[in-house]
């Protein structure tokens, strides 16, 4: 957070009485603090970068691109494969165990309905054979809306300074060649969570602060210098739907969010705007604050705010809930992500959320994928029951470990701690040295190594370590004071049991 506006916004939130949160993804979400980003080494760390790319060479992974999935192949009420189009051809792939849909809150319900799983009447309208009547497919669609509140800045320190072609070229070159500078950030570096009214169980208003006055898609910017906060009411009551327009898989689905259908959603935004103005009025922003740019000081009444919302509100691209998890009649998947009423079919994406999260959707959706992968392995049998798959023999397990070596975190920690444990047991190690080789020869070998290193061991650290019985073993790397190299001191005696 090099730009001082980010810290000033956090301070303004504290001055308004909301407090500071060290980690809004941890114990306390409510409050103001630094915003996390999924960025690694200056590059957006997408799920493809973090999960798919490292697994590209696995023999059990086959990736097909430029392909359109058309339906899940069903054998009665059992999913047995997937049909897709690629290069003008219709192809099929068979599943040994399960089919997993992870196609978004729009396309997962679409694929279910194209496969005959969904509201029976709606499927019959498009001439699709009903495999299983599941009325909740495509219902319960939710999203986050956002508006931005803009303020003029009296100091020329905002991102509006970097909107010219030469400045953009400099940002791009700095990122492309050095992976540093403004190009390594999404520019939303501080945020806040508050409650729109008393009695709320958890925060329902989210702020993303931007050190610039720019449209969300970058299409327009304030003429001058400014800053803004993106205001979102993150627990909407309004519900929409996803439906088929036709039985053609290439036809886009009908998507209706039904924004502001519930009066409570408007009330949350009205309160959010008034709290935003209160935060912007705090002393922390006095040296930066100019006049209000959007919505403007003339927008005060509920009717005026509602009109502003209708004209400026935009999606935050957080669709969720269209294949929601649950056990009631309108639920689509059970708590294990399995589609109700059919076998060997799961949905694993944001569509299974019963209600949209009161924060950004990317990390929770990744968590859904990790949880589903960790808890997978249950297979359906002909009798309808679920059992753990039988264990393979030792040979298969050894082969699996060779193909996919995944050291357990506990094993990695033990490996890291092992040298420390040796150092904590000088008595045992010292006694072994005495038994296996004369102490004088061992110390002499160390001193000779230190002498060859010249000034790298000016204080005789190696000899001191041996004299004090530090637990250093023959064959271990001995760091010298110079730090540039490490030297191998090997046991001179044949048959030594110390590792070489």
Whole-Å CA distances, 323 to 71, 176, 342, 466, 488: 16, 40, 14, 66, 61
Burial 344-371 (b: 16+ CB within 10 A, else e): bbbbbbbbbbeebbbbbbeebbeebbee
132 is catalytic: no
Residues 6+ apart with CB under 8 A from 71: 82, 83, 111, 114, 115, 249
DSSP for 330-372, please give it: T--B-TTSBBTTSBSEEE-SGGG-SS--SS-SHHHHHHHHHHH
CA distance 322 to 362: 17
| Closest by Cα among 103, 126, 131 to 116 | 131
Which two structure tokens, joined as six digits, stand for 104? 């978004």
Which two structure tokens, joined as six digits, stand for 409? 């975190």
Helix (H) or strand (E) holding 31: strand 31-34
Residues 6+ apart with CB under 8 A from 475: 488, 489, 490, 491, 498, 499, 500
- Sign of torsion, CA 233 234 235 237? positive
For residue 391, give the DSSP letter: P
Among 225, 230, 318, 380, the active-site one is 318
CA distance 358 to 233: 8
For residue 297, give the DSSP letter: T
| Cis ω before 295 (30° cut-off from 0) | yes
Residues 6+ apart with CB under 8 A from 166: none
Residues involved in catalysis: 318
């Amino acid at each position: 957070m090099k730009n001082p506006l980010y810290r000033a916004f956090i301070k303004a939130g504290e001055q308004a009485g909301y407090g500071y949160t060290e980690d809004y993804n941890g114990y306390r979400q409510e409050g103001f603090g630094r915003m996390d980003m999924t960025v690694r080494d200056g590059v957006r760390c997408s799920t493809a970068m973090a999960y798919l790319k490292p697994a590209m060479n696995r023999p059990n992974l086959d990736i097909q691109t430029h392909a359109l999935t058309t339906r899940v192949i069903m054998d009665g009420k059992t999913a047995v494969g997937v049909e897709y189009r690629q290069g003008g051809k219709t192809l099929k792939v068979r599943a040994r165990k399960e089919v997993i849909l992870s196609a978004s809150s729009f396309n997962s319900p679409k694929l279910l309905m194209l496969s005959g799983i969904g509201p029976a009447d709606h499927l019959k309208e498009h001439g699709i054979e009903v495999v299983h009547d599941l009325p909740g497919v495509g219902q319960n669609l939710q999203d986050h809306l956002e508006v931005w509140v803009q303020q003029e800045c009296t100091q020329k320190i905002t991102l509006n300074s970097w909107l010219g072609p030469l400045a953009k070229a400099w940002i791009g070159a700095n990122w492309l060649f050095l992976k540093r500078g403004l190009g390594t950030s999404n520019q939303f570096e501080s945020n806040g969570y508050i409650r729109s009214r008393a009695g709320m169980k958890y925060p329902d208003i989210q702020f993303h602060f931007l050190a610039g006055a720019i449209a969300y898609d970058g299409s327009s910017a304030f003429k001058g210098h400014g800053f803004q906060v993106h205001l979102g009411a993150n627990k909407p009551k309004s519900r929409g739907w996803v439906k088929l327009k036709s039985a053609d898989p290439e036809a886009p689905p009908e998507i209706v969010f039904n924004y502001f259908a519930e009066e409570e959603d408007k009330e949350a935004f009205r309160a959010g705007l008034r709290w935003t103005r209160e935060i912007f009025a705090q002393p922390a922003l006095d040296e930066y604050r100019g006049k209000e740019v959007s919505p403007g000081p003339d927008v005060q009444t509920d009717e005026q705010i509602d009109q502003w919302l209708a004209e400026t509100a935009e999606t935050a691209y957080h669709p969720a809930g269209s294949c929601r998890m649950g056990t009631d009649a309108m639920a689509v998947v059970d708590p294990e992500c399995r589609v109700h009423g059919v076998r060997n079919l799961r949905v694993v994406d944001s569509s299974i959320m019963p209600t949209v999260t009161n924060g950004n959707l990317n990390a929770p959706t990744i968590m859904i994928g990790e949880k589903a992968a960790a808890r997978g392995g249950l297979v359906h049998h002909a009798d309808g029951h679920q059992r753990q798959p039988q264990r393979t023999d030792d040979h298969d397990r050894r082969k699996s470990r060779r193909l996919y070596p995944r050291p357990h975190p506990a094993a990695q920690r033990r490996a890291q701690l092992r040298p420390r444990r040796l150092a904590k047991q000088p008595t045992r190690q010292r006694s072994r040295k005495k038994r296996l080789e004369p102490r004088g020869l061992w110390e002499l070998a160390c001193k000779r190594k230190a002498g060859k290193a010249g000034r790298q061991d000016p204080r005789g650290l190696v000899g001191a370590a041996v004299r004090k019985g530090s637990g250093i073993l023959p064959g271990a790397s001995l760091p010298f004071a110079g730090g540039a190299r490490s030297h191998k001191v090997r046991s001179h005696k044949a048959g030594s049991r110390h590792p070489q």
